């Protein structure tokens, strides 16, 4: 695509300082093409692949020069321009929007994590975001379509109808704009994320939801006793596919994750989000949710590079996500 006759097609081996061993390391960690590297952060690249940050910067800027995928920009300047196009999607709660500096950012991954079995209200928030993305811009939406990758079979159209009506939206129209794909296992989930790029050519998708990001990865790993390194690599690659989607389509990526109830068997610390560092490095915004009294949930922003840490209260009601008061 976009390649002229006789024009050289670059691979990651053409990047400065990338020999066979580094190329392998990059590929293993999901940085398998120029586009993925072009949108990577130097810090992530350096930590994940064990190279110096200076070397990572060189690799990324060369990747930006060489990347020639479809109508995607080639130079660093255009990428900066793209950063200026960032928009914010409302969560429905002024408290939570405020915590996030105005809402969920496009071109970034926002992770909602918390305990299992309804304690977090994560799936409820995903439903609300889907409805909100279809709303007009003056109401904090994108007037856009939504793609949900549903791994736990928890998508409920009836909830969309309730939430849409509460916002005086035509619920049929909202439902038509929400495309749902069930993912039956982690490989299927990865495939769906890749296919999402094609779907976005047909529909104006500006919100991609993965609920839950890690459940298949966890159960397959526990069930088969498979290799942890392999799982982590697949998850990392998947996260990069999601980020790529967000960058190319100026879309919000919202994912859910659970804290591990069995610290000994999966990915490290007690009460740590599943996927550990892999998910943490790639998600730009991470929100920890926990249950409070009376249907309220406390949302805490963790490790954000640009925003202060803080907590706020939201509420899950029949009408959807609202402020929880103080
Ligand atoms: P896991 O996926 O199991 O980790 O949970 P989750 O964090 O996704 O939780 P989920 O969003 O499924 O939250 C379910 C909770 O939302 C329920 O226990 C209710 O408290 C609340 N909820 C769901 N629907 C309604 C509704 O129509 N009205 C009200 N008031 N609350 C609701
Ligand atoms: Mg859920």
Ligand 1 pocket check for 121: Cβ under 6 Å: yes
**For the chain, what is the domain count?**
2
- Which pLDDT band holds residue 278 (cuts at 50, 70, 90)? low
Beta 178-182 vs 145-150: how paired, if at all? parallel
Q: How many CB atoms lie within 10 A of CB 255?
A: 27
In terms of pLDDT, which residue wins out, 77 or 154? 154
User: Residue 127 falls within a domain, yes or no?
Assistant: yes
Mutate to test the pocket of ligand 1, among 124, 163, 258 (most ligand atoms within 8 A of CB): 124
Is the pLDDT confidence value at 302 over 80?
yes
Give whole-number Cα distances, 275 to 118, 145, 158, 240, 263, in Å: 20, 29, 31, 14, 12
Is the pLDDT confidence value at 38 over 90?
no
Which ligand gives the minimal distance to the CA of 150? 2
- Which pLDDT band holds residue 272 (cuts at 50, 70, 90)? low
Q: How many CB atoms lie within 10 A of CB 313?
A: 16
Domain holding 43, by residue range, is 12-67
Whether the bond between 212 and the residue before it is cis, its omega within 30 degrees of 0, is yes
Lowest mean pLDDT among 72-81, 129-138, 237-246, 317-326: 72-81
Mutate to test the pocket of ligand 1, among 125, 316, 318 (most ligand atoms within 8 A of CB): 316
Ligand 1 pocket check for 320: Cβ under 6 Å: no
Residues 107 and 25 reside in one and the same domain: no
User: Residue 299 falls within a domain, yes or no?
Assistant: yes
Ligand 1 pocket check for 292: Cβ under 6 Å: no
- At 226 the pLDDT is 62
Q: Which phi and psi angles does 137 have, rounded to 5°?
A: -60, -35
- Which pLDDT band holds residue 74 (cuts at 50, 70, 90)? low
Ligand 1 pocket check for 123: Cβ under 6 Å: yes
User: Residue 77 falls within a domain, yes or no?
Assistant: no
Is the pLDDT confidence value at 80 over 70?
no
**CATH classification of the domain holding 50:** 1.10.150.20
- Long-range CB contacts for residues 293-299, cutoff 8 Å, separation at least 24: 296/324, 296/325, 297/120, 297/121, 297/324, 299/95, 299/96, 299/99
Residues 101 and 51 reside in one and the same domain: no
- Which pLDDT band holds residue 261 (cuts at 50, 70, 90)? low
Nearest residue CA, atom 14 of ligand 1? 118
Atom of ligand 1 nearest to the CA of 126: 11
User: What does the block give as tokens for 279?
Assistant: 């998910």
Is the pLDDT confidence value at 196 over 80?
yes
User: Residue 310 falls within a domain, yes or no?
Assistant: yes
Ligand 2 centroid to Cα of residue 1, in Å, is 38
Residues 128 and 197 reside in one and the same domain: yes
Atom of ligand 1 nearest to the CA of 317: 30
The alpha carbon of 106 is separated from its chain's Cα centroid by a whole number of angstroms, namely: 10
Q: Mean per-residue pLDDT for 179-196?
A: 94
Residues 266 and 166 reside in one and the same domain: yes
- At 70 the pLDDT is 40
> What does the pLDDT look like over 145-168, one tens digit per residue?
999 999 999 999 999 999 999 999
Residues 292 and 167 reside in one and the same domain: yes
User: Residue 78 falls within a domain, yes or no?
Assistant: no
Ligand 1 centroid to Cα of residue 294, in Å, is 13
Residue 135's nearest CA partner among 176, 103, 164 is 164
pLDDT over 90 percentage in the chain? 53
Ligand 1 centroid to Cα of residue 205, in Å, is 25
């Amino acid at each position: 695509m976009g390649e002229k006759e006789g024009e050289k097609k670059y691979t990651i081996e053409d990047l400065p300082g990338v020999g066979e061993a580094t190329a392998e390391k990059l590929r293993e960690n999901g940085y398998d093409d120029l586009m993925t590297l072009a949108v990577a952060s130097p810090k992530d690249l350096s930590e994940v692949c064990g190279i110096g940050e200076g070397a990572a910067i060189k690799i990324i800027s060369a990747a930006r020069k060489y990347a020639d995928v479809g109508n995607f920009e080639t130079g660093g300047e255009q990428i900066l321009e793209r950063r200026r196009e960032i928009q914010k999607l409302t969560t429905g709660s002024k408290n939570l929007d405020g915590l996030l500096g105005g809402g969920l950012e496009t071109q970034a991954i926002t992770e909602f994590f918390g305990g299992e079995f309804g304690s977090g209200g994560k799936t409820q928030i995903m439903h609300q975001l889907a409805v909100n993305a279809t709303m007009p811009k003056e109401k904090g939406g994108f007037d856009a379509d939504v793609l949900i990758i549903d791994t736990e079979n928890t998508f409920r159209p009836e909830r969309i109808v309730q939430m849409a009506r509460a916002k005086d939206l035509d619920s049929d129209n909202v439902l038509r704009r929400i495309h749902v794909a069930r993912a039956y296992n982690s490989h299927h989930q990865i495939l769906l994320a890749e296919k999402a790029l094609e779907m976005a050519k047909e529909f104006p998708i500006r919100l991609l939801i993965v609920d839950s990001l890690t459940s298949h990865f966890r159960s397959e790993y526990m069930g088969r006793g498979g290799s942890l390194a392999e799982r982590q690599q697949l998850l990392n690659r998947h996260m990069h596919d999601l980020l790529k989607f967000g960058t190319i389509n100026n879309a919000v990526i919202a994912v859910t994750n659970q804290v591990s109830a069995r610290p000994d068997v999966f990915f490290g610390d007690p009460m740590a989000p599943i996927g550990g560092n892999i998910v943490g490095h790639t998600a730009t915004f991470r929100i920890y949710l926990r249950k409070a009294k009376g249907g309220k949930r406390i949302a805490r922003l963790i490790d954000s590079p640009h925003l202060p840490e803080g907590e706020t209260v939201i509420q899950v009601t029949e009408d959807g996500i609202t402020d929880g008061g103080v």
